[in-house]
Amino acid sequence: MFGVYSNALKVKDIRRKLFYILLVLLIFRVGSQIPLPGIDRDLLTEFMFGGGDGIIGLILGGEMGTIFAMGIGPYITASIIMQLLTVAIPKLEQLKKEGEEGRKKINQYTRILAVAMAIMQAAGSVFSWRVAFIHNNIFVYVVAALTMIAGTMFIMWMSELLTEKAIGNGASFIIFANILAALPMGIMTMYYASIGGVWNAVIVVIVVILFVLMVGFAVLVQDGQRKIPVQYSKKMVGRQTYGGQSSFIPVKVNIAGVMSLIFAMSILGFPQQIAMFFPQPEAGADPSWLLRVVEFLNMTTWYPVGPYDNPWFTFPFGAIIYVFLIFCFTFFYTSFAVNPVEMAENLKKNGGFIPGIRPGKPTSDYISRTVNRLSWVGAVFYAVIALIPILIEWFFGMAVGWGGTTLLIVVGVALELVKQLESQLLMRNYKGFLNT
């Protein structure tokens, strides 16, 4: 990997793209420290202590109370919604098949939807932070909300510039920078836990070993794929013979990527977003039904079953629902990411076939069975990676500061960057790391 970066820095064009990435990420991190007009961030931190924005805020959002507080979250949410609508609405599906012009229209719809999502999220955030504003009046609230919306639109513009002028997907780099920015805090949390007596040295070593194993496991499955063999029939054109070569169809184990985890967390976090618009009960008062729903869906909480003041037992409903949603969204996302019928038809048109499988419906059924089996493997992998940090918090009594989704995103973006650099270096006659 280090050889790839070393060779990349020797090429002026690639070096310029890498520096461009660093410049945009630097602007993003600087903006994440600029406070909203009229807000007291110290008071906000005190008010939100023990709460915060959760894992979704860590991945997609910025620092609380800043102009980039929402991060790229509304744009990512809008992109997910548009992907789902593309499958559900025939007109959008037809636009997707029209090539570059169709994709431009879908991207325009995504931006409009992102603005609408940003308006709703900004209104909810300002309302929930209202006690932290120095001057409590409607003008201050409107200015703060508009500033947050403008910040999100600026981040969306920067991510599109990264995609166009740099290497890889710009939104992925923004999320990548967000997660890495929180890494020192996670390390400090473990350090203070060890010196404060919450964790002993053995627990710290166990947590570090689990983290290393998770990274290795993530790299293994991220690159894992099933190669379906394909044979092309020979054709005689005059005296020349064409075709007859062998190939394969690569089917990745993690077809859905981290989308299944992000979908699952979005569903579980939706009641918490709604709760931001309602006043919180006073200390010592019974929680409202909405807060009970939020507690019920909390992935790290064992919810009491029975009378609230004297429960019969507790059960991790949130974690169980989280795993269930991961499986559901893995198969759901895979179902429209891979079309076995279309793949079988393309093979038949090009004179290809899978050895031992008849063309047509038997081929599509075989591809469908293979994809479903891989989806089970991928879903189990996602669930295990997502549950390990939760199990650590349950057994050791303290959050580790990183989650399965953050780990998958960091590993995925890092591997994708290496592959992109490798391909560009090979185009310039460099011997890359993957071919040594």
pLDDT at position 297: 80
Q: Check residue 434 and give its pLDDT.
A: 46
d(CA 271, CA 265): 11
Q: Determine how many CB atoms are found less than 10 A away from the CB of residue 198.
A: 14
Single-letter amino acid code for the residue at 106: I
DSSP three-state, residue 376: helix
Asked if 73 and 58 count as a contact pair (C-beta separation under 8 A), the reply is: no
Are 295 and 272 within 8 A, CB to CB?
Answer: no
Q: What DSSP string runs through 245-303?
A: -EEEEEEETTTTTTHHHHHHHHHHHHHHHHHTTSPPPPTTSPPPHHHHHHHHH-TT--E
Task: Kindly calculate the radius of gyration of the chain based on its CA atoms and give it in whole angstroms.
Answer: 25
Helices (H), 129-245: 138-165, 170-195, 201-222
Give the pLDDT of residue 419. Answer: 77
Full pLDDT tens readout for the chain, 436 residues: 556 666 666 777 778 888 888 888 888 888 888 888 888 877 777 666 444 445 555 555 567 788 888 888 788 878 878 877 887 788 887 887 777 788 888 888 888 999 998 898 888 888 878 888 888 888 888 999 999 999 999 998 988 888 887 777 777 788 778 777 777 776 777 777 667 666 677 777 887 788 888 778 777 777 778 888 888 776 655 566 555 677 888 888 877 777 777 777 777 877 776 766 665 655 555 556 777 777 778 777 777 776 666 767 677 888 888 888 888 888 888 877 788 888 888 888 877 888 888 888 888 888 888 888 888 888 888 888 888 878 877 777 666 666 667 777 777 777 777 777 777 777 665 444 445 4
- Report how far residue 375's alpha carbon sits from residue 6's, in angstroms, rounded to the nearest whole number: 37
> Coil, strand or helix: which one is 227?
strand
- Under DSSP, the state recorded for 233 is P
Q: Report the alpha-carbon distance of residue 354 to residue 363 in Å, rounded.
A: 7
Distance separating alpha carbons of residues 69 and 144, to the nearest angstrom: 11
Q: Are residues 78 and 117 in contact, defined by beta-carbon separation less than 8 angstroms?
A: yes
The backbone torsions φ and ψ at residue 312, rounded to the nearest 5 degrees and listed phi first, read -75, -45
